[in-house]
Structure 1
Amino acid sequence: MKKKTKVKAKSELPEELIREEILTRLPIKSVVRFKSVCKPWLSLFTDPEFIKDHLTRNSIQNPNDYDCLIASKHGRIVTLSRYEETFVLPSDDYELVGSVQGLICLRHGKKLSLWNPAIHQSREFTLPPRHSGDLDRIGLGFHHASNDFKVVVCYFSDDSLCVSVYSANSDSWKDINVPKIVFFKTKRKRYEISAPKTFVKDCPYWTCNRDMAYCNTVLSLSVMKFDVDSDEFKLLPEFSFDASVQSGPLRKDYELVNMKDCLTLMTYERSQIRSLDVYSLDEEGCCVWSKMYSLGPFIHMDYPDLSQGFRYGGEIVYHNCGKFSCYDHRTDKVKRLVGSTAHVNLVSCFTYMPSLVYLQGMKSVHVQTQTRRSGNNFKTARRLIKSLKN
């Protein structure tokens, strides 16, 4: 008698289950590899809804991997998690403008780049002809309703203000009108804005010095916001320092940061952090600076510089000559970030979340000719560097 062979029925998982419960949980590196599996997956992994779902799920389930910082040190750009520092690009020839939704904006002269290091894709474009390329007046934002990344640039010419906004969706610039009262204190004096200090809810914020004491000590501070939804600049309420303290040896310095997705101002003694005051601005409520808490005295934070806070964890990140550490005020413990290297010059530091964001017209910068820099164990994306130099 012939033996009966059992035929196993082919079972398939529902496509919705694969998409929503399996693929959205994959690490970014796996998604990048799996793009080559089939055309439907390639299309899926560039779909804005999938990208949004993937970022939302992973930022909740893997906060240590997705709640990060990106910093521009002397000659290099690095990402920082709670447990390591990772080199991503040399920065000898360009500057870091900012980061939102996983895209990093870079500037070299009059050329800008929207670069996603997680998927090795970049799109380059140029500044408007009239703009000088001053880094202090370039910002990056994200409009959620239209899924559009925007770059805003502004400059002063003959006591008049010119502002242009770049839309990634249309790949074009447009000029917008800004009332003079936003940037001008008086007919001939304007606020002196400094490079975007932080990005909160995907909008850039600048600090604006209004009154100065001797030795360039700030007496009052305003914050300028570019609202990406309305394409408008907004001057937020002023923060005033104690004039008697600012005129003494214990005068305060400040840093504007993003902590728990809120605009936060930290003030501290300039020479060394013995105490730290933390203020928050509730833009949706009464819109005033409210003191949240004071920390200190510290015995382990001599001569540091504040950088940013982790977006969701609440730790305060600071560095000493580029060596990063984070302080958790809930446990009063300091943790040195593993792999953090010393560099005298730290140019800027922003919050960063790796994502799958892809823009039409992006080109691969996962290079054909990657090289290693002597004495360092990393690879360099040479094509991106060359494109910014041209």
Structure 2
Amino acid sequence: MNKANASPILLIDEIVDDILLRLPVKSLKRFKLVSKPWNSLISDPKFAVSHLHDKVLRVGQIYAKGGPKPSLSLYSMDADGSNREIVTVNYDYVYKHDDYYNNPYDDNSDVKILGSCNGLLFLLLGTSKYLLWNPITREYKYIALDSSRREDEQGKIISGLGYDSSSGNYKGITVSHYISGISSPHDEDVLYEEMHCYVYDYKQDSWTEKKNNYNEFPYSLHSCNSAIMVNGVPHWCVYRRHGRHREGYDRLQIRVSYVIIYFDLETEKFKEVEVPEWAAEEVKFYLGVLGGCLCMCLDPRENSTSFEVWTMKEYRIVESWTKSFVISSPFFKELRPLCFTDTGKNQVLMEVEEKNEVGRKLIIFNLREKTQKTLLVDKNFESSVCTYVGSLVSLPRSSFSRRTSKRTREVKTKLSMPSWIK
């Protein structure tokens, strides 16, 4: 056929949609320039949500730089260690034009990943500034603090970010728990303690404090950690106390049991996920997600060096808890499952803390060949690691929303990787 007479190939809209949904986020950002219909389709929030499914998980770690020109750097890679890059955003322009954030966090302040959902990262800058950030679209949003929010929260803190599909709204959650060494003014035999729970409503752009007394929240926080996301809902491992902290009693004498709780985004209530009976009696474990399923990694029993990983095959069905695999090492102190790195589920990425070592490591364990590969060595205990997916999900415009510009530049590079990346 004569090329001059060849007709252009026309694709049915449904086929175009299906092709675009299979492409990586970075390609879609370029293809928005192809035509107005493509730009409209790719910019549609519904397309962004549909594009989230079955995408490659990435592992990210945040570091902050203070001073007159504060910045955030996200060091990220695919779960198998490939496609590594650094994304850095400078925030000096925002601080100069917003008196509320006139004093950015200093060099000694740290930044924590409080949670991730639909490609959005929920961050805590220093001690009192919150940020939502999509590192792919380069959009970010400062979250104003409620006037009743204490900036000097003490004790343990858990936090997370979730998406309420019933209202199409994002919600942030942070809980702090503090037990003092003095008696309660209401009961001299009971130690004074404070529990603060705040929920951030994205649409309302405001924090709400949830009143939780001991009977409504009979838990203590055994670590400061971000949420484990399953089915779009934040989960945490806490422990239930069987009694109140009383003056003159060692805290360790109060019998505890480890439980899994989650925050119902629709009702804004804390609820429990059942664990097997044998795990409910003073068995310590850390939560993770494998293959989209909630899992827990049990600490070794006495005189053992084996970490058992159990997976909940059917969500909230206690009978579905199944022992998936065992990792043994006399050098490991803590293990947290992050994700599988292959479709055959033979390789698993774990966050590892070793005995007599400072910091953490990211290690891929090959369950079939019984080998391991270290991806990252981080000697900074304050930095946090999370898994997320690259997404096109946009942040709705508001007075606190920003997109990187000439004044808030973003730098991407695959060169000059930090020394702690192996």
Change (3 A) 1:242 1:177: closer
Distance 2:3 2:387 in 1: 57
- Contact between 1:278 and 1:293, CA under 8 Å: does it hold in 2? yes
Equivalence map 1:1-390=2 (5 Å): 8=5, 10-14=7-11, 16-17=13-14, 19-56=16-53, 59=55, 66-72=56-62, 77-80=74-77, 81-84=79-82, 85-89=84-88, 93-108=110-125, 109-132=127-150, 134=153, 136-155=157-176, 163-174=197-208, 180-184=214-218, 191-192=220-221, 194=223, 195-210=225-240, 220-237=257-274, 254-269=285-300, 274-281=305-312, 284=315, 286-287=317-318, 290-298=321-329, 302-303=331-332, 305-310=334-339, 313=342, 314=345, 315-319=348-352, 321-337=359-375, 340-345=376-381, 347-361=383-397, 362-365=401-404, 368=407, 370=409, 377=416
Percent same amino acid among aligned pairs? 23
Question: What is the RMSD computed on CA atoms of the aligned residues?
Answer: 4.1
Report the AA paired with residue 116 of structure 1.
Answer: N
| TM-score, L = length of structure 1 | 0.73
Report the AA paired with residue 310 of structure 1.
Answer: C
Distance 2:289 2:388 in 1: 11
Report the AA paired with residue 263 of structure 1.
Answer: L
Residue 20 of structure 1 aligns to a residue whose secondary structure is: helix
- Contact between 1:197 and 1:256, CA under 8 Å: does it hold in 2? no
Report the AA paired with residue 396 of structure 2.
Answer: Q
Distance 1:286 1:79 in 2: 34
Report the AA paired with residue 8 of structure 1.
Answer: N
1:387 corresponds to: none
Q: What stretches of structure 1 of length at least 5 have no aligned partner?
A: 60-65, 185-189, 247-251, 380-390
Distance 1:132 1:176 in 2: 14
Question: Cα distance, 1:72 vs. partner?
Answer: 4.4
Question: Cα distance, 1:270 vs. partner?
Answer: 9.0
- Contact between 2:299 and 2:334, CA under 8 Å: does it hold in 1? no
Q: What stretches of structure 2 of length at least 5 have no aligned partner?
A: 66-72, 90-106, 179-191, 243-248, 354-358
More helix by share: 1
Residue 124 of structure 2 aligns to a residue whose secondary structure is: strand
Question: Cα distance, 1:363 vs. partner?
Answer: 2.5
Distance 1:30 1:177 in 2: 46
- Contact between 2:157 and 2:176, CA under 8 Å: does it hold in 1? no
Stretch of structure 1 that moved more, 205-214 or 349-358: 205-214
Question: Cα distance, 1:357 vs. partner?
Answer: 0.8
Change (3 A) 1:83 1:286: closer
- Contact between 1:199 and 1:351, CA under 8 Å: does it hold in 2? no
Change (3 A) 1:17 1:206: closer
Residue 41 of structure 1 aligns to a residue whose secondary structure is: helix
Report the AA paired with residue 11 of structure 2.
Answer: P
Distance 1:68 1:131 in 2: 33
Distance 2:334 2:177 in 1: 31
Question: Cα distance, 1:161 vs. partner?
Answer: 5.6
| TM-score, L = length of structure 2 | 0.68
- Contact between 2:159 and 2:173, CA under 8 Å: does it hold in 1? yes
Question: Cα distance, 1:68 vs. partner?
Answer: 2.6
Report the AA paired with residue 83 of structure 1.
Answer: G
Question: Cα distance, 1:255 vs. partner?
Answer: 1.6
Report the AA paired with residue 348 of structure 1.
Answer: S
- Contact between 1:182 and 1:235, CA under 8 Å: does it hold in 2? no
More strand by share: 2
**Deviations 1:29-49, CA, capped at 9 Å, x for gaps:** 122223344444333222122
Change (3 A) 1:71 1:148: same
